[in-house]
Amino acid sequence: MLKLLMIMAVLSFNSVHAAIDTYEFKDADKQARFHELTADLRCPKCQNQNLADSNSEIAQDLRQKVYEMLDADQSDSDIVDFMVARYGEFVLYEPRFSLQNSILWLGPFALLIVGLFVVLFLVRSRSKNSKIDSAEVELDTQQQKRLKQVLNKGKK
């Protein structure tokens, strides 16, 4: 019985250990750039994790690639361009404005303008309808006489 409890205790303490990446930087500026880039770039495998937070193998490889490119004195834009060329706009949390994604950037404004025109059209058409209704209420003299006769019959 004691052996069974010991085996269960050992098995319950078994945990998954993630590999921790450690990189040696020449200066603090490159280290800060590394942390900023890995926080700004999305992991291609994980749906909503950046490279810094993801434990997937591809994220580890991409962190290594970012480190190598920083070590080779490449600019941030060169690194981002490399990632976009390889994995597409998906790796950017804030996609760049381009012809392909212009509908995403301009669509809300276009819908707002269309909505304003619809509201303006509805307000104008209702105001025209209310003017027409008030014009239709006016009766000619024959209709007024007939109305008075009907109302007088109702009083008797």
Two tokens, residue 84? 């976009």
42, 90 in Cβ contact below 8 A?
yes
Name the residue type at position 138. E
Two tokens, residue 2? 């004691």
Q: What percentage of the chain exceeds 90 in pLDDT?
A: 15
Q: Rg (Cα) of the chain, in Å, rounded?
A: 36
Q: Domain range holding 58?
A: 21-91
Residue 7 belongs to a domain? no
| Last residue in a domain, options 44, 63, 91 | 91
The answer to whether residue 102 scores a pLDDT higher than 90 is no
pLDDT band at 113 (very low <50, low <70, confident <90, very high): very high
**Range list of H helices, 44-140:** 57-71, 76-87, 102-137
Residue 130: strand, helix, or coil: helix
The answer to whether residue 22 scores a pLDDT higher than 90 is no
Same domain assignment for residues 62 and 124? no
In Å, what is the CA distance from 51 to each residue of 13, 55, 74, 90, 107?
28, 8, 18, 13, 30
DSSP labels, 41-60: BBPSSSSS-BTTT--SHHHH
Same domain assignment for residues 86 and 25? yes
What's the number of domains the chain is made of? 2
pLDDT band at 112 (very low <50, low <70, confident <90, very high): very high
Residue 13: strand, helix, or coil: coil
Report yes or no on whether pTM surpasses 0.85. Answer: no
Same domain assignment for residues 39 and 67? yes
Dist CA 10 CA 144 (whole Å): 101
Same domain assignment for residues 140 and 81? no
pLDDT band at 6 (very low <50, low <70, confident <90, very high): low
Residue 85 belongs to a domain? yes
Same domain assignment for residues 81 and 116? no
Residue 6 belongs to a domain? no
Same domain assignment for residues 86 and 26? yes
Same domain assignment for residues 82 and 25? yes
